[in-house]
């Protein structure tokens, strides 16, 4: 039997790239992220699934931060660099959107349907 957990997150804008695209991360409150694949002080590799496609991404948190985040730098299954922002924008997400994430070990699925 597969074990998975559902988490609530939010897309946060942390600035802009030099080409004008917003820098997005996905944040989860650490207090409700027990079981999410992250550990303080280190980047944890995850497989991020968006619209059925798999990407290589990472999570990060620090002892002082109240959040766990999915980092903005990632790559596709072929190893090509990709920005989380582009992936989110291409799938209709924007800053401050609340999202649901399903985690099964180190595989995290971003549900395509936004929740408000």
Q: Structurally, how many domains does the chain consist of?
A: 1
Span 59-105, pLDDT tens digits: 999 999 999 999 999 999 899 999 999 999 999 999 999 999 999 99
Residue span of the structural domain in which 81 resides: 5-110
Report whether 99 contacts 87 (CB < 8 A). Answer: no
Count how many Cα atoms sit within 13 Å of the Cα of residue 14 in the half-sphere of its side chain. 13
Angstrom distance (rounded) from CA 88 to CA 73: 12
pLDDT for res 3 = 82
Q: Note the maximum CA span of the chain.
A: 46
Residue 9 lies in a domain: yes
CATH number of the structural domain spanning residue 53: 2.40.330
In DSSP notation, 41-77 reads: TB-EEEEEEETTEEEEEEEEB-SS-SEEEE-SEEEET
pTM exceeding the 0.85 threshold for the entire prediction: yes
Residue 115 lies in a domain: no
Span 23-50, pLDDT tens digits: 999 999 999 998 899 989 999 999 999 9
Residue 25 lies in a domain: yes
């Amino acid at each position: 039997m597969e074990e998975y957990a559902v988490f609530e997150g939010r897309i946060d804008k942390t600035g802009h790239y030099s080409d004008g695209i917003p820098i997005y991360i996905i944040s989860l409150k650490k207090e409700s992220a027990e079981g999410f694949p992250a550990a303080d002080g280190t980047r944890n590799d995850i497989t991020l699934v968006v619209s059925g496609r798999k990407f290589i991404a990472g999570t990060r948190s620090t002892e002082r931060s109240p959040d766990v985040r999915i980092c903005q730098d990632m790559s596709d299954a072929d190893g090509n660099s990709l920005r989380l922002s582009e992936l989110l924008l291409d799938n209709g997400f924007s800053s401050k959107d609340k999202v649901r994430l399903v985690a099964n070990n180190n595989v995290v699925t971003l549900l395509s349907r936004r929740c408000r």
